[in-house]
Every structure is written in structure tokens, then in C-alpha cells.
Amino acid sequence: MKYMGINRKNIFLYAAIACLLGIIAIFVFGGYLGLYDTVYVSTGEYEQVIGPDFWQGQRPDVRFPYNTGARWGDTVRFRYEINNRRFSDYSADVEASLWQRDQKLNDMLKQRISLSGFGRTTLEWQLTPQEMEQANLQVGQYTVRISRGGVELGRGIILGFYQDLGPGIPPKPPVRVGP
């Protein structure tokens, strides 16, 4: 029996294939939808990108930080990009602060953002040597905690400062003159 020139049994096969393609399309589209956080940390000559995969790949019960380093005395610049890949609007408070051993040392950013559907925004802030001096910071490890809408990104970014010890080449010995 034929229906519009197609065998009846083949219609079921095509319908099943259409359902399979629909499921794949939902997986691709559903995977694309969501709120995506990307943090860029720039210091010295390097820029590190901490992408959405890092933040979203964490389980709620086991969260881990991102580790990065900076030379003591260099300015550390942060860029935080929030991408609202959803149909609905999104607004939230974004906060970034500097911590050491569960003590807050410095508020670096406090801002309210409002994003339309499929909109994005980028927030920027920096940690300058002057700010570090004013906060009586010393060479060591600090945690930069970033939260969006009261939810922290992973366990933050561990920022390890190191002192530049130079190239490590010993000075030339004095030239001996005479016997």
C-alpha cells in the first residue's frame, strides 16, 4: 500500500529517523542554551582563559579552583564575560573579591548586570601593585572569588604571587690583572 508514492512501512521508518534527528537537534540546541561564564586573567605577557567548561564541569559537592601565577609588582587584569544564551532576560549582582585563608582582604568589583535574551556583557577590573600595597599584601597565595547571583564560580581563582629573581646567571668574576 502506497501513500503519496511512499510505501506505508517506509513512512514509519522515515518517522523514526525524523524523531532521531529531532533528539540530536535538541541535544545540540539544548547544549548551546544556558548561561556561560568566561574569565580572562592577564598578567605580564600572558593571558589565561578560564572557559565555561571549567566552571560547568564541576560537581556541586566537589568544587575546585583554577590556579595561576603573577609576578609580584605586576598588575593583574581580570575580564569576566557573561553570555546569556537564553530567550529570557537575566539580571544579577556580580561580585569579585580577594581572599586569603577565609578572610576577605579586598572588594574588587560589585556590579549589577542586566542582560537581554542572547545578550552578553564583559566586566573588567584589576589588581594593581598600589592596591596590594595599601592592603598590606605580601608575596604568597590569594584567592579571587567571583560570584554571579550569589553563586560562586567553582572555588575561585588561586593567584600565586612570586618574586622575580632575575635571570639566575651569576655575575662575572673580576678580571685578574697581572701575574
Partner 1 sequence: MRIYVLYGFGIALSIAGIAYLATEYVRYLTEPLRLLSLLLTTAMFAFFGKYFQEKGW
Give the footprint of partner 1 on this chain (CB under 8 A): 8-10, 12-13, 15-16, 19-20, 22-23, 26-27, 29-31, 33-34
Of 29 and 61, the one with the shorter C-beta distance to partner 1 is 29
Question: Is the distance from CB of 126 to CB of 93 less than 8 angstroms?
Answer: no
Q: Which is nearer to partner 1, 26 or 135 (CB)?
A: 26
Shortest distance, position 24 Cβ to partner 1, whole Å: 9
Instruction: Please state the closest distance from residue 60 (CB atom) to partner 1, in A.
Output: 12
Residue with smaller CB distance to partner 1, 6 or 135: 6
Alpha carbon distance 141, 159 (integer Å): 6
Closest distance to partner 1 from the beta carbon of 8 (Å): 7
Minimum gap (Å) between residue 115 Cβ and partner 1: 18
SS3 9: helix
The candidate with the shortest Cα–Cα distance to 78, out of 132, 140, 123, is 123
Q: Give the integer Cα–Cα distance in Å for 53 and 102.
A: 26
Instruction: Return the number of the residue (27 or 46) whose C-beta is nearest partner 1.
Output: 27
Cell reading at 50: 578560564
- CA separation, residue 75 to residues 44, 78, 152, 162 (Å): 8, 10, 24, 13
